[in-house]
C-alpha cells in the first residue's frame, strides 16, 4: 500500500468510527468520504466494508448505484445539465452540445485545466422552468444559449 | 426414471400454526398465516407467472410478473409480497393482468439475446417458460437502442456489453443474459450467507457483480453454486451443462464428502453425470450445498483411477495387473498362510468412513467371522473416537443429540474446535442464517476462524485459547456458571445424578479454575471468559457444536465430557435448539462407528465381551466369535514393527497420509507381508501395499450413509462401477475366497441383517427409507420413524453423569528448540487427505498446503509471505510455503493436511487421547526457519512413491 492510500485509509476509518452508530450508516459515510476527499478514493470501499462488517460486494453495489459518488476528483466547478424529457423538449440537447463544444469535453468529463466537470442529470424537479441545470450545487432554470455562455464564462475565469 | 422436478412454491413456507382461508380463482385454499398469495396459489395447483421469486429466498417483488387482482383492493399487487388473508378473493388471470404481463415480458425480452436454440439453458429456462406462459408473440423494440445484449451490429463498441466471465472452473457468468432478478444475489446472502454478489450500477448498466466488479474467482465467492441454482436463465450456468446438455433423468442420493450428509439429485444423461443439484427435501441440507458436493465429483472419472486389480510380491516391484479371481485368491491364500504361521490374530482390517454402512458392516463381519479375531478399527480412531467414549459415558449414546434443523431454534451457540465454514459448509450456512436472525455465537478456537467476524456475523466472544488447554477453559466456564449460580438446578435434579453433580460443582468451584487463575496458562482474557459463560448460561436455548479441535488431543475424551457437563449443568439437552453436537468429519464416520468398526464393540456400540450380544451374531453368522477386543490401528502398527502382525485389509482409508507420525506408519506397513489396499486411487498407503483392489465411487453403488445427526440417508447407484464391482461385492468376493458362504445380492439384505441384530436400527429397512426419505437412529418400535432429538424425557443411560474433568497438560511442550505450537485443520475446497478433491478443479483455489504464521513470529525468523520454510518437530521435518496472517496468535502456527507433498503428519507426534488413542494432531511443538525448498525426506518420499506406482499391464495367456 502506498503511503497515500494508507493515509486515506486512516481518514476513512476515522469517518466510519464517527458515524458507524447511525442507523443505516453506509450512505452517510459515503457522503462524508466524498465531502472530505472530493471523491471516493481507491480502497475506501474496502475499508468501509471491513469497518461495517459488510461484504465488498454490498458496499460496491450501493456506491455504484449513485452517480454522485465519484471515483475521481471533479473539476473546480461542476455543471450538471438536465437531459430528462421536459428539458429535452425545451432544447436541453442543444444546450448540452453547445457546452460540450465550448468546454471541449464529453459528458462526465473534466476540462484539461481541471476547472470544469460537465455532467448530465436526469430531472432536477424543475420541469416548469426547463431547461434547467445545476452549477456547483445551485439550480438554475430557463436556460438559453446566452445564460449558458454566461455560466461558462464565470466558471472558466 | 425421469427428471425429478421439484415444485417451486415461489416463497418460503410460513411456520405459523394459525391458518387462513382464501379463494383463488374460485378455489378455497387454507394455508398457515404469513403464507404469500403466490405460495397459496401454487399449493392449490395454480402457478402464477414469476421470475424473481423462488421458495429458497424471501419475496422481493421486483419482476412485476406475478401480479394479481384482489377483490375490494386497488391496483395489481405482486402475489409474492402479498400475504394471504382470511376471506381474500384473488384472481390470477384477468384481461388487465394479461396485458400488464405481456408488456413486462416484452420489455424483458427487448434486452435479452434471442439465441434460445443454442443457449445452454434451453429446456431449463424460466424466462423462456414465462414468455410462453404470458403468450408473448412480438417484441416491438429492436437492438439499435440501449441494450446489454451484444456488441453492436454496425461494429460500434457497446459500452454496456460485458463478455462472459469463465474464471470459475465450474460455472460461467454471462452478463448479457442477466435479467437483474437478483435471485443469485439473494441466494448468496440468504442461503449461503457469504454476500459475495450484488447488483452494480443502475438502469441499463445494472448487472450482477461478484465483489467489486471482480472476476468470480477473485471475489469473495466460495463457489457453493446457490446462485447458479437460483438463476432462471443461462446467466449463471454450470459448465457441465454447457458441455453436455440438459439431463434426462435424476436420482436422489447422498453426498460422499463431509458429515453433514447433503441430499442431492444426481442429474444424468444416460450413465453420464451432468450435474449435482441439492435436493430440497434433504433434511440435512434443505436444498443447499457447498463447492465440494455440488461440483467436485470429477475424481469419479479421473485418469488416475485404478480399474484393474493388481498384485506384487514385494513393494519394490512394479504392480502387475491381474484378474479379480487371481487377486482375491492371492489375498485369501496369503492371509490364511500368515494365520497358519503366525496365529489367528496376525491379520486384521480397517473399515472405511467413506464407504456405506452396509460395506462397513461386511468388512467388520469378514474380520470377526472370517479372520476369527477382532482386529478391526476405523479412521474414527483418529477423529471422533473420544466423542463416542465421552458421550457414551455421560449420556449413554455415542452420537450427537440433535438434528441440524435444531439450529433454527438456538439462541446461543458455543462453537469449539470446529471451523464449519470450511469443514461443514452447509451447516455453517444454516448457522449463519440463525446468527443473522439474532442468535449469539461464542467461538473457542486458537485461530480467528471466519465465523468470528465475517459480513453480518460477529461472535460475542472469541476465546482464543492456547492449543491444548481446552479442558482448562471448559472447566473454567463451568466455574463461572456454578459460582455465579447460573446453572439449571431443576434440570440437574430431575435428569442427573445429584450427588455426582455436587462433587463436580465443588470441583469446578475451586478458585484455581477461575478465569483469572487460568488466564496466563490459556492466554485468554478473564473478562472474555466470563462474558462467554454468562451469555451461554442465560441466553436461552444453548447449543454446543464441536469438531476435531476438541477430540484430537491427549485429553480429547475429557474435553467431550466437559462439554457434556456444561450442557447438563445449563439444562441444554432434550429439546430442539440445544444439545451437544459433534460435527463429524466424513460422510459415514458416524455410520462406521455404529456398524461395529471398533475392536471392542459389535454393531450398536455393544461390547464384544457381552455374551448376549455375541450370541445374536453367532446365531446369524454361524461362527464362534472371539470375546477378546482386538487391536487398534496404532497397536496393529506397533505389533507389525514387533513382527507379530503381518497382514491387513484396508478399505478406503489412507492411513499413511492421515494417521500421525508418518514414519512409524510407514515402518509398520513395511514390516507386513500382505497389505491389501481397496481404494479408488493408488493412495500413499498403497506405496506399501502388495494387493490393490479397485474401489467404486458413491455414484456406483447402493447403500446408506449416516451423517453427524444420526440420519440414515440412501446412497443410490447412478452408473455402472468402472472397476466392475461395488465395494460391498468386492468384500463379499474376498470373503468367499476365504471360504465364507456369503450370498448377498443387494445391500438392502445387509441392512436387514443390521436391523435384525442391532436394536437401535431395528425398524430400518430400505422400504422405510424409500417412504421417509431418511430416518435418524434410534429407529425401533419406540420410535418407528426415528429420533430427531435424543434424551427428551431422560438420558439413555438413565441419569446424566457429571464427570470431574481435571486438566492435565499434554506432554508435548514448547521449549527453546521448538517454541511454536502447530495446530492443523482444513480448507473449504479440499477434503481430508485430498485424494478426491485434488483430482478435481477445486485445486483452482488451493494448490498446496500453507503454513499460517503470525507477522511477529515471521519477522523474528526473517520469513516473508510465500517463502519456503522448514517446519520441524521432535518427530520430523517438512517444508512448505508460509502465509503471514494475524488469524493465528503469536506463538501458534497452523496448516492443512490435504496434500501428500506436504506430509504434515511427519511432524505430528505419537501422543494420543488417554481413553481412545485418538492422536493429538492439534498440538505439536515446532520450530520454523527459512528453507530453500522441499526437505530431503520429501524428495526421497516422492522418488519412492513414483517408484512404487509403476504398473505392468495384464498379459493374457497366449492361445
Which residue in chain B is spatially nearest to A50 when comparing CA positions? B455
**Angstroms from B211 CA to nearest CA on chain A:** 4
Query: Domains of chain B: which residue ranges?
Result: 19-133, 171-301, 310-383+588-776, 402-574, 820-947
CA distance B125 to B454: 34
The third-level CATH classification (topology) of the domain covering B171-301 is Alpha-Beta Plaits (3.30.70)
Q: Name which of A55, A121, A31, A116 is nearest A85 in CA terms.
A: A121
Q: Do B199 and A61 touch (CB under 8 A)?
A: yes
Determine the average pLDDT of the residues in B590-610. Answer: 93
CA distance B299 to B681: 10
DSSP of B741-761, one letter per residue? ----SSHHHHHHHHHHH-GGG
CA angle B889, B893, B897 (to 5 degrees): 140
Q: What is the pLDDT of residues B402-454, one digit of tens each?
A: 999 999 999 999 999 999 999 999 999 999 999 999 999 999 999 999 999 99
CA angle B616, B621, B623 (to 5 degrees): 95
- Kindly give the residue spans of alpha helices, DSSP state H, lying in B33-124: 37-43, 95-110
A128 touches chain B (CB under 8 A): no
A56 touches chain B (CB under 8 A): yes
B218 touches chain A (CB under 8 A): no
Give contacts of B180 with chain A, Cβ < 8 Å.
none
Phi, psi values for residue B672, rounded to 5°: -90, 155
C-alpha cell at A5: 492510500
Three-class SS state of B231: coil
CA distance B881 to B867: 5
C-alpha cell at B174: 454471462
Give contacts of B196 with chain A, Cβ < 8 Å.
55, 57
B152 touches chain A (CB under 8 A): no
- Per DSSP bridges, beta strands B542-546 and B412-416 are parallel
**Angstroms from A149 CA to nearest CA on chain B:** 31
Of B199, B453, B455, the CB nearest to A55: B455
B220 touches chain A (CB under 8 A): yes
Give contacts of A56 with chain B, Cβ < 8 Å.
211-212, 219-220
Q: What is the pLDDT of residues B125-150, one digit of tens each?
A: 999 999 999 999 999 987 777 788 87
Write down the residue that cell numbers 378455489 correspond to: B27
Handedness of CA A30, A31, A33, A34 (dihedral sign): positive
Query: Residue B583, preceding bond cis, omega within 30 degrees?
Result: no
**Angstroms from A151 CA to nearest CA on chain B:** 30
Burial class (CB in 10 A: 0-12, 13-18, 19+), B26: exposed
Look at B223-227, B316-320, B380-384, B514-518 and tell me which has the smallest mean pLDDT: B380-384
pLDDT of B546 reads 95
Query: Residue B778, preceding bond cis, omega within 30 degrees?
Result: yes
CA distance B635 to B514: 39
DSSP of B812-827, one letter per residue? ----SSS-EEEEEE--
pLDDT of B959 reads 46
Residue A144 gets which letter from DSSP?
A: -
Q: Name which of B470, B492, B488, B480 is nearest B415 in CA terms.
A: B470
Which residue in chain A is spatially nearest to B216 when comparing CA positions? A57
Write down the residue that cell numbers 450508516 correspond to: A25
Q: Is the pLDDT reported for residue B153 higher than 70?
A: no
Find the helix or strand (DSSP H, E) in which B463 lies: strand B461-463
Give contacts of B213 with chain A, Cβ < 8 Å.
60, 64
| CATH class, B402-574 region | alpha beta
How far are the Cα atoms of B391, B598, B603, B917 from residue B629, in angstroms, in the given order? 21, 9, 14, 15
pLDDT of B152 reads 63
A vs B, Cβ pairs < 8 A, gives: 56
pLDDT of B953 reads 81
CA distance B475 to B499: 18
Q: Do B220 and A45 touch (CB under 8 A)?
A: no
CA distance B558 to B802: 11
DSSP of B156-204, one letter per residue? ---TT----B--SSSEEE-GGG-----HHHHIIIIII----EEEESSGG
Beta bridge partner(s), residue B822: B893, B924
Q: Is the pLDDT reported for residue B829 higher than 50?
A: yes
Write down the residue that cell numbers 416548469 correspond to: A128
With a threshold of 0.85, tell me whether the complex ipTM lies above it. yes
pLDDT of B894 reads 93
Q: Do A55 and B196 touch (CB under 8 A)?
A: yes
Determine the average pLDDT of the residues in B595-607. Answer: 93
Which residue in chain A is spatially nearest to B205 when comparing CA positions? A65
CATH among 3.40.30.10, 2.60.40.420, 3.30.420.40, 3.40.50.2000 for A77-156: 3.40.30.10
pLDDT of A52 reads 96
pLDDT of B718 reads 96
B202 touches chain A (CB under 8 A): yes
Q: Do B213 and A56 touch (CB under 8 A)?
A: no
Q: What is the pLDDT of residues B541-552, one digit of tens each?
A: 999 999 999 998
pLDDT of B810 reads 86
Neighbours of B89 (CB within 10 A): 14
Percentage of the residues of chain B whose pLDDT score is greater than 70: 99
CATH among 1.10.760.10, 3.40.50.1100, 6.10.140.120, 3.40.50.740 for B310-383+588-776: 3.40.50.740
Q: Is the pLDDT reported for residue B79 higher than 90?
A: yes
Find the helix or strand (DSSP H, E) in which B929 lies: strand B924-930
Residue B221 gets which letter from DSSP?
A: -
Of B201, B220, B458, the CB nearest to A57: B220
Give the confidence band of B307 by pLDDT, cuts at 50, 70, 90: very high
Burial class (CB in 10 A: 0-12, 13-18, 19+), A60: buried
Q: Name which of A77, A86, A76, A70 is nearest A126 in CA terms.
A: A86
- Per DSSP bridges, beta strands B19-24 and A138-140 are unpaired
Burial class (CB in 10 A: 0-12, 13-18, 19+), B110: middle
Q: What is the pLDDT of residues B359-408, one digit of tens each?
A: 999 999 999 999 999 999 998 888 888 998 999 999 998 889 999 999 99
Handedness of CA B927, B933, B935, B941 (dihedral sign): positive
Architecture of domain B820-947: Beta Barrel (2.40)
User: Do residues B386 and B414 touch, judged by C-beta distance below 8 A?
Assistant: no
Q: Do A60 and B200 touch (CB under 8 A)?
A: yes
Which residue in chain B is spatially nearest to A49 when comparing CA positions? B455
Q: Is the pLDDT reported for residue B498 higher than 90?
A: yes
**CA end-to-end distance (rounded Å), chain B:** 44
pLDDT of B151 reads 67
Give the confidence band of A1 by pLDDT, cuts at 50, 70, 90: very low
How far are the Cα atoms of B147, B294, B384, B804, B841 from residue B472, in angstroms, in the given order? 64, 40, 20, 12, 42
| CATH class, B19-133 region | alpha beta
Q: Name which of B694, B691, B690 is nearest B727 in CA terms.
A: B694
**Angstroms from A108 CA to nearest CA on chain B:** 14
Q: Do B209 and A64 touch (CB under 8 A)?
A: yes
Give the confidence band of B831 by pLDDT, cuts at 50, 70, 90: confident
Which residue in chain A is spatially nearest to B457 when comparing CA positions? A53
pLDDT of A125 reads 93
Q: What is the pLDDT of residues B792-823, one digit of tens each?
A: 988 888 999 999 999 988 888 888 999 999 99
Q: What is the pLDDT of residues B178-225, one digit of tens each?
A: 999 999 999 999 999 999 999 999 888 899 999 999 999 999 999 999
pLDDT of B214 reads 95
**Angstroms from B142 CA to nearest CA on chain A:** 21
**Angstroms from A125 CA to nearest CA on chain B:** 19
Of A46, A57, A67, the CB nearest to B197: A57
Query: Domains of chain A: which residue ranges?
Result: 3-65, 77-156
Q: What is the pLDDT of residues B32-65, one digit of tens each?
A: 999 999 999 999 999 999 999 999 999 999 999 9
Neighbours of A68 (CB within 10 A): 11
Percentage of the residues of chain B whose pLDDT score is greater than 90: 82
Determine the average pLDDT of the residues in B624-630. Answer: 94
Write down the residue that cell numbers 429466498 correspond to: B57
B197 touches chain A (CB under 8 A): yes
Q: Is the pLDDT reported for residue B722 higher than 60?
A: yes
Q: What is the CA radius of gyration of chain A?
A: 18
Tell me how many helices (H) and strands (E) chain A has: 7, 5
CA angle B290, B294, B298 (to 5 degrees): 125
A106 touches chain B (CB under 8 A): no
Instruction: Write down the mean pLDDT value for chain B.
Output: 93
CA distance B149 to B141: 13
Find the helix or strand (DSSP H, E) in which B870 lies: strand B868-873
Q: Do A57 and B219 touch (CB under 8 A)?
A: yes
Which residue in chain A is spatially nearest to B182 when comparing CA positions? A61
pLDDT of B692 reads 97
Q: Which of B180, B421, B432, B455 to mutate to test the interface with A (most CBs of A within 10 A)?
A: B455
Q: Is the pLDDT reported for residue B957 higher than 60?
A: no
Write down the residue that cell numbers 439473494 correspond to: B186
**What's chain B's length in residues?**
959
CA distance B900 to B902: 5
Amino acid at each position: 500500500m502506498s503511503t497515500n492510500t494508507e493515509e486515506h485509509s486512516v481518514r476513512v476509518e476515522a469517518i466510519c468510527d464517527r458515524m458507524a452508530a447511525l442507523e443505516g450508516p453506509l450512505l452517510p459515510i459515503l457522503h462524508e468520504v466524498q465531502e472530505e476527499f472530493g471523491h471516493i478514493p481507491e480502497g475506501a470501499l474496502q475499508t468501509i466494508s471491513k469497518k461495517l462488517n459488510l461484504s465488498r460486494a454490498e458496499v460496491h453495489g450501493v456506491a455504484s448505484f449513485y452517480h454522485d459518488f465519484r471515483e475521481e476528483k471533479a473539476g473546480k466547478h461542476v455543471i450538471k445539465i438536465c437531459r430528462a424529457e421536459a428539458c429535452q423538449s425545451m432544447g436541453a440537447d442543444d444546450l448540452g452540445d453547445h457546452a460540450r463544444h465550448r468546454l471541449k469535453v464529453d459528458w462526465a468529463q473534466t476540462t484539461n485545466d481541471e476547472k470544469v466537470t460537465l455532467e448530465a442529470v436526469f430531472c432536477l424537479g424543475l420541469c416548469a422552468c426547463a431547461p434547467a441545470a445545476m452549477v456547483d450545487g445551485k439550480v438554475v432554470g430557463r436556460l438559453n444559449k446566452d445564460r449558458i455562455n454566461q455560466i461558462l464564462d464565470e466558471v472558466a475565469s | 426414471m425421469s427428471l425429478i422436478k421439484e415444485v417451486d412454491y415461489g416463497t418460503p413456507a410460513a411456520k405459523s400454526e394459525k391458518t387462513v382461508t382464501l379463494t383463488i380463482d374460485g378455489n378455497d385454499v387454507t394455508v398457515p398465516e404469513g403464507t404469500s398469495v403466490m405460495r397459496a396459489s401454487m399449493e392449490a395447483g395454480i402457478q402464477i407467472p414469476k421470475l424473481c421469486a423462488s421458495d429458497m429466498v424471501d419475496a422481493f417483488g421486483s419482476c412485476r410478473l406475478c401480479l394479481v387482482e384482489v377483490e375490494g383492493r386497488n391496483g395489481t399487487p405482486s402475489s409474492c409480497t402479498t400475504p394471504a388473508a382470511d376471506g381474500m378473493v384473488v384472481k390470477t388471470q384477468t384481461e388487465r393482468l394479461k396485458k400488464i404481463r405481456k408488456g413486462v415480458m416484452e420489455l424483458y425480452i427487448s434486452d435479452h439475446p434471442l439465441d434460445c436454440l443454442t443457449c445452454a439453458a434451453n429446456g431449463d429456462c424460466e424466462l423462456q417458460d414465462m414468455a410462453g406462459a404470458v403468450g408473448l408473440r412480438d417484441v416491438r423494440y429492436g437492438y439499435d437502442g440501449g441494450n446489454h445484449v451484444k456488441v453492436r451490429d454496425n461494429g460500434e463498441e457497446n459500452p454496456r456489453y460485458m463478455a462472459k466471465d469463465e474464471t470459475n472452473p465450474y460455472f460461467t457468468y454471462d452478463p448479457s443474459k442477466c435479467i437483474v432478478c437478483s435471485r443469485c444475489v439473494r441466494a448468496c446472502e440468504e442461503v449461503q450467507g457469504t454476500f459475495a454478489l450484488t447488483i452494480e450500477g443502475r438502469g441499463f448498466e445494472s448487472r450482477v457483480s461478484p465483489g467489486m466488479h471482480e472476476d468470480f474467482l477473485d471475489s469473495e465467492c466460495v463457489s457453493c453454486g446457490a446462485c447458479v441454482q437460483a438463476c432462471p436463465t443461462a446467466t449463471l450456468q454450470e459448465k457441465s451443462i454447457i458441455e453436455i446438455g440438459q439431463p434426462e433423468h435424476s436420482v436422489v442420493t447422498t453426498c460422499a464428502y463431509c458429515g453433514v450428509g447433503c441430499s442431492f439429485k444426481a442429474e444424468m444423461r444416460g450413465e453420464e453425470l451432468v450435474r449435482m443439484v441439492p435436493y430440497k427435501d434433504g433434511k440435512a441440507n434443505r436444498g443447499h450445498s457447498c463447492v465440494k458436493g455440488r461440483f467436485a465429483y470429477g475424481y469419479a472419472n479421473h485418469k488416475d483411477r485404478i480399474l484393474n486389480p493388481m498384485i506384487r510380491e514385494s513393494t519394490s516391484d512394479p504392480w502387475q495387473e491381474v484378474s479379480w479371481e487371481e487377486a482375491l485368491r492371492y489375498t485369501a491364500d496369503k492371509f490364511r498362510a500368515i494365520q497358519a504361521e503366525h496365529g489367528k490374530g496376525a491379520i486384521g482390517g480397517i473399515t472405511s468412513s467413506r464407504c456405506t454402512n452396509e460395506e462397513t458392516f461386511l468388512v467388520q463381519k469378514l474380520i470377526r467371522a472370517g479372520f476369527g479375531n477382532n482386529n478391526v478399527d476405523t479412521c474414527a480412531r483418529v477423529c471422533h473416537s473420544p466423542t463416542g467414549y465421552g458421550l457414551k459415558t455421560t449420556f449413554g449414546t455415542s452420537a450427537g443429540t440433535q438434528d441440524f434443523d435444531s439450529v433454527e431454534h438456538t439462541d446461543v451457540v458455543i462453537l469449539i474446535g470446529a471451523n464449519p465454514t470450511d469443514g461443514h459448509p452447509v451447516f455453517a450456512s444454516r448457522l449463519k442464517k440463525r446468527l443473522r436472525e439474532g442468535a449469539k455465537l461464542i467461538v473457542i478456537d486458537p485461530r480467528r476462524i471466519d465465523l468470528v467476524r465475517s459480513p453480518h456475523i460477529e461472535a460475542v466472544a472469541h476465546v482464543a485459547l492456547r492449543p491444548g488447554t481446552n479442558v482448562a477453559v471448559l472447566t473454567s466456564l463451568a466455574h463461572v456458571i456454578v459460582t455465579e449460580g447460573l446453572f439449571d438446578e431443576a434440570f440437574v435434579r430431575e435428569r442427573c445424578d445429584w450427588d455426582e453433580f455436587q462433587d463436580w460443582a465443588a470441583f469446578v468451584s475451586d478458585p484455581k479454575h477461575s478465569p483469572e487463575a487460568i488466564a496466563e496458562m490459556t492466554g485468554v482474557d478473564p473478562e472474555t471468559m466470563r462474558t462467554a459463560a454468562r451469555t451461554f448460561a442465560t441466553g436461552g436455548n444453548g447449543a454446543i457444536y464441536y469438531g476435531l479441535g476438541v477430540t484430537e488431543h491427549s485429553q480429547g475424551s475429557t474435553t467431550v465430557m466437559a462439554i457434556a457437563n456444561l450442557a447438563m449443568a445449563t439444562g441444554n439437552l432434550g429439546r430442539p435448539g440445544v444439545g451437544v453436537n459433534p460435527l463429524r468429519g466424513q460422510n459415514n464416520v458416524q455410520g462406521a462407528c455404529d456398524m461395529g468398526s471398533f475392536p471392542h464393540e459389535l454393531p450398536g456400540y455393544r461390547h464384544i465381551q457381552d455374551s448376549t450380544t455375541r450370541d445374536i451374531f453367532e446365531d446369524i453368522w454361524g461362527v464362534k466369535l472371539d470375546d477378546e477386543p482386538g487391536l487398534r490401528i496404532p497397536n496393529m502398527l506397533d505389533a507389525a514393527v514387533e513382527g507379530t502382525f503381518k497382514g491387513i485389509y484396508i478399505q478406503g482409508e489412507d492411513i499413511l497420509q492421515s494417521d500421525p507420525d508418518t514414519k512409524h506408519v510407514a515402518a509398520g506397513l513395511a514390516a507386513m507381508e500382505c497389505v491389501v489396499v481397496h481404494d479408488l486411487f493408488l493412495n500413499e498407503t498403497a506405496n506399501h501395499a502388495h494387493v490393490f483392489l479397485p474401489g467404486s465411487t458413491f455414484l456406483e453403488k447402493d447403500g446408506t450413509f449416516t451423517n453427524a445427526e444420526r440420519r440414515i440417508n440412501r446412497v443410490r447407484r447412478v452408473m455402472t462401477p468402472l472397476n466392475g464391482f461395488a465395494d460391498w461385492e468386492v468384500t463379499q468376493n474376498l470373503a468367499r475366497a476365504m471360504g465364507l458362504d456369503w450370498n448377498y445380492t443387494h445391500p438392502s439384505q445387509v441392512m436387514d441383517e443390521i436391523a435384525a441384530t442391532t436394536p437401535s436400527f431395528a425398524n430400518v429397512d430400505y422400504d422405510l427409507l424409500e417412504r421417509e426419505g431418511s430416518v435418524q437412529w434410534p429407529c425401533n418400535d419406540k420410535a418407528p420413524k426415528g429420533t430427531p432429538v435424543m434424551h427428551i424425557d431422560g438420558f439413555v443411560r438413565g441419569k446424566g453423569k457429571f464427570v470431574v474433568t481435571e486438566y492435565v497438560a499434554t506432554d508435548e511442550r514448547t521449549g527453546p528448540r521448538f517454541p511454536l505450537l502447530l495446530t492443523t485443520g482444513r480448507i473449504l475446497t479440499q477434503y481430508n487427505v485430498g485424494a478426491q478433491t485434488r483430482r478435481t478443479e477445486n485445486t483452482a483455489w488451493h494448490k498446496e498446503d500453507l503454513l499460517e504464521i503470525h507477522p511477529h513470529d515471521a519477522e523474528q525468523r526473517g520469513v516473508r509471505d510465500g517463502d519456503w520454510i522448514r517446519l520441524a518437530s521432535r518427530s520430523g521435518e517438512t517444508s512448505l510455503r508460509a502465509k503471514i496472517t494475524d488469524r493465528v496468535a503469536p506463538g501458534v502456527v497452523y496448516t492443512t493436511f490435504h496434500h501428500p507433498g506436504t506430509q504434515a503428519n511427519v511432524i505430528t507426534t505419537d501422543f494420543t487421547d488417554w481413553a481412545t488413542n485418538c492422536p493429538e494432531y492439534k498440538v505439536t511443538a515446532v520450530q520454523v526457519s527459512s528453507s530453500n525448498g522441499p526437505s530431503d525426506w520429501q524428495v526421497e518420499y516422492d522418488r519412492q512413491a513414483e517408484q512404487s506406482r509403476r504398473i505392468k499391464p495384464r498379459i493374457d495367456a497366449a492361445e
